[in-house]
Amino acid sequence: MPNSETDCDVVVVGAGGAGLAAACAAAETGARVVLLEKLRDLTGTTSWSVGSIAAAGTRLQRKAGIFDTPEAFAEDMLLAHPQSDDTLHLRLMLARNSGATIDWLERIGVIFLGPFPEPPNRVPRMHNAVPAGRIYLQVMAGEARRLGVEFRHGARATELIMENGEVRGARYQSEGGAQALRARSVVLASGDYSASAELRAQHLTRAQAAAIPINANSTGDGHLMALRAGAGMKRMDGVFGPQLRFVAARSLPWIASLPDWRWLRLFGAAFIRHAPPALLGMLAKQLLVAHMSPSDALFEAGAVLVDASGELAGASSKAGEVLALRPGATGFVVGDAALAARFSRYPHFMSTAPGIAFAYFRDYERGRPDLVHWGAGANALAAQLGFDAARFAQAASHLSGRIFALGPCQAMLTVTEGGAAIDARGCVLDSTGSAIPGLYAAGGTGQSGLMLKGHGLHLAWAMTSGRVAVASAGTDALSR
């Protein structure tokens, strides 16, 4: 328990996937934990995900008769994105503890389907939460409250309290003004910096900095606090994007907006496990068309990307970089009826949930009619969407017959990969490689240059780094 000089043992900054996992892990050690969240509700980047986590050595794998090892998982990560060995300790930490993370999430109430196959993984490792990523935040928040974690919403952390080179708490802003919270340890888990104008301008290309962040609340608060405390930062130029994404639906599909009742999720999981494939595909497609990226294969087959005025922005996935520098970073994917017909049957899908379902052009017409616009020709479609007729006619000159425009889509910054340098226990390191006493980082804030190119790895890293590595913050706090 804290002494008279501290308000708590551990302060966690950020109530997303990494922060909630860290808060639970610290509380399980017996530490008194306060969680600072600048927003009024739980809307971390985790809540935007479809809910897939890649993991090795899980109970569900063993139940399915799948033999897997952390070493094999670590090797397979490199197949998706070869990288230098300076992040080997983090890759191995993730691979060795990801299975325990899934098992813990199961124990506290998350229902998973899977594991499903997903290249380049040599065995099925993809675990999909029911119904989607937001369930992680809801279940972990309930567990954190059960463990006695104190939530302070509307509390934006601004600065670390430093004494003799050690972190002794954090300052934050709330409705009551500036506040100070003294603690033995601080865990920075406020996400990536994809919405920080300051950090984007410093570390990213012009197009990357101009792209629209998927999560407008990822303002790099933890990165800035770590920097001011003397933390070393790694691969701050690492990024996924600009990536084309269709604008989100105005409302969630009904399957993603079901109440958080455990009996309902258990029923849903059992139903999905035994549902006919056609019905399962229909349900999954509702999620796939909610807020996804157009397939690169569309451009390879002849589609083009135009900006909001109808001017050609490119004919490949790289066109997102061009679109990012156009007004509003907004455009449309344009093709003809032959292309639409081609992408209405396997193997030409527009989006996919690995191992579960594919979504085709016709699924978008049914599930997201707001995104699909048809015209008898270039002039008709230009008039319908307010394009400059001459520019659009030139962009679509290679197309014939009826023409479609899918969109709006936006050039979006999916996630930044750089963060505070950490060791395998989540301790933040300074520029010399020495640990800063009392300071830890998890998730995007503490990604430390580990590139997570591969489906299900970002969620795996967020909750594993929070749950397993940052558990040391609670242990260390009680010994200080």
Question: pLDDT per residue over 228-253, tens digit each?
Answer: 999 999 999 999 889 888 887 765 55
- pLDDT value at 440 more than 50: yes
- pLDDT value at 42 more than 90: no
- pLDDT value at 355 more than 60: no
- pLDDT value at 360 more than 90: no
- pLDDT value at 183 more than 90: yes
Query: Which of 89-93, 319-323, 328-332, 358-362 is least confident?
Result: 358-362
Q: Domain boundaries in the chain?
A: 8-236+417-479, 244-413
The residue whose two tokens read 């950020």 is 14
Residue range 244-413, CATH number: 3.90.700.10
Distances (CA, A) of 100 to 31, 42, 76, 106, 114: 21, 24, 19, 10, 16
As a whole number, the mean pLDDT across the chain is: 87
Q: Phi first, then psi: what are they for 331, rounded to 5°?
A: -160, -165
Specify the length of the chain in residues: 480
Distances (CA, A) of 79 to 82, 83, 235, 259, 405: 6, 9, 20, 39, 35
- pLDDT value at 21 more than 90: yes
- pLDDT value at 144 more than 90: yes
| pLDDT at 247 (0 to 100) | 86
Provide the pairing of β-strand 351-353 with 372-375. unpaired
Q: Is the peptide bond before 131 cis (omega within 30 degrees of 0)?
A: yes
| pLDDT at 288 (0 to 100) | 54
Both tokens of 55, joined, read 């993991």
| pLDDT at 350 (0 to 100) | 82
Which amino acid belongs to residue 336? D
Longest Cα–Cα distance of the chain, Å, equals: 77
- pLDDT value at 107 more than 80: yes
Strand partners, 116: 126
Distances (CA, A) of 209 to 112, 329, 330, 415, 420: 36, 11, 15, 12, 20
pLDDT tens digit sequence for 190-204: 999 999 999 999 999
Distance CA 306, CA 350 (A): 18
**Residue (of 390, 239, 392, 223) closest to 305 by Cα position:** 392
Q: What is the CA radius of gyration of the chain?
A: 23
pLDDT tens digit sequence for 263-292: 555 555 565 555 555 555 555 555 555 557
| pLDDT at 268 (0 to 100) | 58
Give the whole-number percent of the chain exceeding pLDDT 90: 63
Distance CA 430, CA 365 (A): 52
Q: Phi first, then psi: what are they for 123, rounded to 5°?
A: -135, 160
Q: What is the DSSP letter of 41?
A: S
Provide the pairing of β-strand 150-153 with 33-37. parallel
**Residue (of 17, 15, 19, 22) closest to 46 by Cα position:** 17
Cβ neighbour number for residue 201 with a 10 Å cutoff: 10
| pLDDT at 219 (0 to 100) | 96
| pLDDT at 168 (0 to 100) | 96
- pLDDT value at 453 more than 50: yes
List, as one string, the DSSP characters of 381-426.
HHHHHT--HHHHHHHTTT--SSEEEEEEEEEEE-EE--EE-B-TT-
Q: Tell me: domain 8-236+417-479, CATH 3.40.640.10, correct?
A: no
| pLDDT at 319 (0 to 100) | 84
| pLDDT at 273 (0 to 100) | 57
- Mapped onto helix, strand or coil, the DSSP state of residue 180 is strand
The residue whose two tokens read 């409302």 is 251
- Mapped onto helix, strand or coil, the DSSP state of residue 125 is coil
Which residues, 6 or more positions from 65, have their beta carbon under 8 angstroms from its beta carbon?
none
- pLDDT value at 3 more than 50: no
| pLDDT at 4 (0 to 100) | 44
pLDDT tens digit sequence for 381-435: 999 999 999 999 999 999 989 999 999 999 999 899 999 999 999 999 999 999 9
8-236+417-479 and 244-413: identical CATH topology: no
- pLDDT value at 15 more than 70: yes
**What is the distance of C-alpha 338 from the center of its chain?**
34
| pLDDT at 317 (0 to 100) | 66
